[in-house]
Amino acid sequence: MPHRISVLLVDDSSAFLRIAERFLNESSEVRVVGVALGGLHALPLARDLQPDAIVVDLQMPDLNGLELIPLLRTALPEARIIALTFHDDSLYRNAALRAGADDFVAKGNMGNDLLPAIRNVVKRDA
């Protein structure tokens, strides 16, 4: 059986985390290994789980994605990071990429774009 891409989801909405986890786990290529409710919870969990990819919401109250992404990049340089937000515009996209994200997906396009984004950022290293 081929290696499934391990993914950590980070968002401040438990409802969104459940939806995203269910969606990703339907794929034979991806396995959600953890969910972090907020940015403060994400860093220690990421260190423990060592996922292949981390999907990070940009807007969280405790530690937002733009603050979290550089911390994740330093702590887990081999992990691929995908920024996720409701705001699909170049300002957010550019800020996320400058912060160290490997890719950017709008939540409104998650159904079409998230799996290919995870696949693409992880394959760059393969």
pLDDT of residue 62: 87
Please identify which residue in the block is written with the tokens 């989801």.
9
Which pTM does this prediction carry? 0.94
CA 28 to chain CA mean position, Å: 18
The mean predicted confidence, pLDDT, of the chain is 92
pLDDT surpassing 60 at residue 126: no
Phi, psi (rounded to 5 degrees) for 102: -85, -25
Domains present along the chain, CATH in parentheses: 8-92+108-123 (3.40.50.2300)
pLDDT surpassing 90 at residue 73: yes
Please identify which residue in the block is written with the tokens 């396009």.
109
pLDDT of residue 3: 80
H helix or E strand, kind and range, residue 8: strand 5-11
